Structure 1
Amino acid sequence: MEFRVLRYFLHVAREGSITKAADFLHVTQPTLSRQLKDLELELGKKLFIRSSHSITLTEEGMLLRKRAEEIVHMIDKLESEFIAMEETISGDVYIGSGETDAMRKIAQVVKDLQVRYPNIRYHLYSGNEDDVSERLDRGLLDFGILIEPADLSKYNYINIPAKDVWGVIMRNDSTLADKNTIQASDLQNLPLICSRQAIKQTYSKNVFADWFGEDFDKLNVVTTYNLAYNAAIMVDEGIGYAITLDKIVNTSCDSNLCFRPLEPRLESGLNIVWKKHQVFSAAAEVFLKEVQAKFSHPISGM
């Protein structure tokens, strides 16, 4: 299977039209059609459902699209790393993280590096712990930011000098908005909107099960989420109360929403992690050294 043909396939999948893809790629339509048919023959699977005006992907086509995008991404990343070796330090750094205000710490590192290394580009990927870990393990990310508790046994890591505070997002007209803090008893029988990460068994313990106590299994979870922005919309529409981190949803004075921390206070530490024995690009190596200098912690897990 040729890499060039994978690129052709992706362009056709994105355009939904062989004609448009051929124009973009500067190849003739018959040439592109023949390449796609040869690809289907090589794989022994039908990749497209063709109609008079457009084409759509079959199940096998959707799987190939996902894998082809990963392959193209890895090849592009590899090429940029080799180019960076020949120039003044440049290249790409790939960082994955969940929603957390601790990204400000990373942003400060990036801002300081921009002055000395303006040719380094940074790519941020948002996802939960499972998403970030999977992409790290497959080499699609250089670094990940994981909220504690997390399984760090596979990684080297540095503790980020920041803490995330857990609490409840609610409408300003909610009766709980009059409280300064929220206790477990306040949440009994209320419709709750929880992150999937928060309510699953995380590594060796579940911090929320510990915090809620013996009534954890009785909570009325009506919605789960992986992006707090979407959870905030649900709260604003009156669906329920969202359990989330502080400072990642707009709860300023001009918002319909407010945040109240949990009591007893529940905080989570954070770590920036990378694969053990990772071979970094020059750009990623520079970023790591700056993180070490800024956060002033020894490297763990090595």
Structure 2
Amino acid sequence: MSRGLKNITLLQLQYFIEVASEGSITAAADLLYVSQPTMSAAMKDLETRVDRALLVRSARGVTLTDDGVEFLGYARQVVEQVELLEQHYLGRPPSRRLLGVSAQHYSFVVDAFVRMVKASDAAEYEFSLRETRTWDIIEDVRTLRSELGILYRNDFNRKVIDKLLRDSGLAFHPLFLASPHIFISRTNPLASRRRVTLDDLAALPRLTFDQGANNSFSFAEEILSTLSSKQEIRVSDRATIFNLMIGLDGYTISTGIISDDLDPAIVAIPLEVEERIEIGWIDHSGIPLTEQAQRYLDEVRAVVGGFGIALLDQP
């Protein structure tokens, strides 16, 4: 390394992580009890040291450049490793845990999140779980608002999803293959059936998750989205969709993994179709996951494995 170059400091990495998290230099400065000019100067000096723009500044705050997104991934890794060293050799307590996850509306995602939080050994943590639209999941992970995303793909949407992921610098990692099931209320007349067909569903309202401005078939959260339905209702959250299953005897198509603890009023019935649902997680290509993200994925694998489903990836 040239003697004219300055090293990046750990403090600058910590500052940068908070600025990216808060979306504001002023808010990050307040959080870390330093002055706004000090924080601003630290960010400008960091950009000088790495010889590239990491932040886009505006009156509304700051956003990350593409270089900033990549830099943030590595900064998190370095800071987390230093904290682990201090815990092991200096006897310091576990630091404040951070993790963001964005996902389609799956109960196993929530179940694993609950397990992760309960198992956390940190006195302080800041976790986020966003059940959201397919496009927004990809955008959240691209901008590192979330470190992980969980979504599905199949033969129908694979080309569109894979292209969008490639263009965003993201990678899809398969978790498991699921046979399609319908989710319905335990009081639904079909709840006693061992299996159902599409013809059995013709008279029932089909419930789907709204995809907003990107409401194309390729971004639908449910398979068989191109099939017409006489009665269709779009919703934005799982609580509403479950209430409509109970109140209107509606159905949605999903993985078949349902938590009796979290969703006791809903049951999953196998659907007789040839389709398969490939569930996977997405992250930034080439940026290692933090240990907290790995812990969450371990909980996801444990939940899915508890249903007797074979995993496609192993840690």
Matching residue of 2:103? 97
* Residue 84 (structure 1) aligned with residue 80 (structure 2): yes
Mapping 1:1-302, distance limit 5 Å: 3-4=25-26, 68=61, 83-88=79-84, 91-103=97-109, 110=116, 122-149=127-154, 150=158, 151-153=161-163, 154=166, 155-161=170-176, 163=178, 165-170=180-185, 172=187, 174-196=188-210, 200-202=216-218, 207-209=223-225, 216-217=227-228, 219-238=229-248, 240-245=249-254, 246-248=256-258, 255=265, 257-264=266-273, 266-278=275-287, 282-283=290-291, 297=313
Contact 2:151-2:281 within 8 A present in 1 as well: yes
Say if 1:163 and 1:234 are closer, same or farther in 2 by CA, change over 3 A: same
State the Cα RMSD in Å: 5.0
Contact 1:136-1:144 within 8 A present in 2 as well: yes
1:94 is displaced (CA, Å) by 2.0
1:5 is displaced (CA, Å) by 7.2
Contact 1:6-1:68 within 8 A present in 2 as well: no
Contact 2:107-2:257 within 8 A present in 1 as well: yes
1:132 is displaced (CA, Å) by 0.8
Structure number with larger C-alpha Rg: 1
Contact 2:148-2:282 within 8 A present in 1 as well: yes
Question: Equivalents in 2 of 1:152, 1:7: separation in Å?
Answer: 39
Unaligned segments of structure 2, at least 5 residues? 1-23, 34-57, 86-94, 303-310
1:187-213 Cα distance to aligned partner (Å, 9 max, x none): 22433222336x841169x84057xxx
SS at match of 2:84: coil
Question: Percent of counterpart pairs with the same letter?
Answer: 10
Contact 1:195-1:243 within 8 A present in 2 as well: no
Contact 1:171-1:235 within 8 A present in 2 as well: no
One-letter amino acid matched to 1:169: I
Question: Equivalents in 2 of 1:118, 1:286: separation in Å?
Answer: 19
Contact 1:183-1:264 within 8 A present in 2 as well: yes
SS at match of 1:273: strand
One-letter amino acid matched to 2:175: I
1:133 is displaced (CA, Å) by 0.7
1:47-90 Cα distance to aligned partner (Å, 9 max, x none): xxxxxxxxxxxxxxxxx99x65978xx9x999977753542265
1:176 is displaced (CA, Å) by 3.2
1:136 is displaced (CA, Å) by 1.0
How many aligned residue pairs are there?
228
Question: Equivalents in 2 of 1:259, 1:113: separation in Å?
Answer: 28
1:261 is displaced (CA, Å) by 2.5
Say if 1:265 and 1:195 are closer, same or farther in 2 by CA, change over 3 A: farther
Question: Equivalents in 1 of 2:267, 2:130: separation in Å?
Answer: 27
1:102 is displaced (CA, Å) by 4.2
Say if 1:160 and 1:296 are closer, same or farther in 2 by CA, change over 3 A: closer
User: Which 4+ residue blocks in structure 1 deviate beyond 4 angstroms?
Assistant: 5-8, 67-71, 76-83, 104-115, 117-122, 249-254, 284-291, 293-296
1:234 is displaced (CA, Å) by 1.7
One-letter amino acid matched to 2:272: E
One-letter amino acid matched to 2:271: L
Say if 1:263 and 1:275 are closer, same or farther in 2 by CA, change over 3 A: same
